[in-house]
Amino acid sequence: MKRILHIDSNHPLLKSQLEAAGFINDDDFTSSKKEIESKIANYEGIVIRSRFQIDAAFLEKAVNLKFIARVGAGLESIDCECAAANGIALIAAPEGNRNAVAEHALGMILSLFNNLNRANAEVKSGKWLRESNRGHELDGKTVGIIGYGNMGKAFAKKLRGFDVTVLCYDILPNVGDANAKQVSLAKLQEQADVLSLHIPWTPETDKLVDENFINAFSKPFWLINTARGKSVVTADLAKALKSKKILGAGLDVLEYEKLSFEQLFTSEIPEAFQDLISAENVILSPHIAGWTFESHEKLAQTIADKILLVYNPSPQNAVLEERVTGIGGFFFKSENPEKLRDWYHKHLQLSTDAYGCTFWWKDKAGADCSTQWSVLAANTTYFEPSKKEFMQNFRVRNLETLLEQLKEEGVAVVGEMESYDYGKFGWILDLEGNKIELWEPIDSAFL
The residues annotated with a catalytic role in the active site are 228, 268, 287
> Which DSSP letter does residue 411 get?
P
Euclidean distance between CA atoms 265 and 258, whole angstroms: 9
For 305, residues 6+ apart whose C-beta sits below 8 A from its C-beta are: 316
Q: Which runs of consecutive H residues, i.e. helices, occur in 86-233? A: 94-113, 116-124, 150-158, 185-191, 211-215
Report helix angle 12-20 to 293-311, nearest 10: 20
Per-residue b/e over 282-318, b at no fewer than 16 CB within 10 Å? Answer: bbbbebebbbbeebbbbbbbbbbbbbbbeeeeeeebb
For 90, residues 6+ apart whose C-beta sits below 8 A from its C-beta are: 67, 68, 70, 75, 78, 80, 83, 84
Name which of 102, 99, 77, 75 is nearest 252 in CA terms: 102
Euclidean distance between CA atoms 221 and 193, whole angstroms: 5
Start-to-end Cα distance in the chain:
33
For 192, residues 6+ apart whose C-beta sits below 8 A from its C-beta are: 142, 143, 144, 167, 217, 219, 221
> Which DSSP letter does residue 196 get?
E
3-class secondary structure, 51? coil
Euclidean distance between CA atoms 251 and 289, whole angstroms: 10
CA angle (94 as vertex; 88, 96 as ends), nearest 5: 115
Q: Which runs of consecutive H residues, i.e. helices, occur in 203-247? A: 211-215, 234-243
Query: Going along 285-338, which residue ranges are E strands?
Result: 324-327
Bond into 173 cis (ω within 30): no
Sign of the Cα torsion 233, 239, 242, 247 reads: negative
Q: Which runs of consecutive H residues, i.e. helices, occur in 8-159? A: 12-20, 33-37, 56-61, 80-85, 94-113, 116-124, 150-158
CA distances from 425 to 227, 374, 388, 398, 421 (A): 31, 17, 20, 11, 11
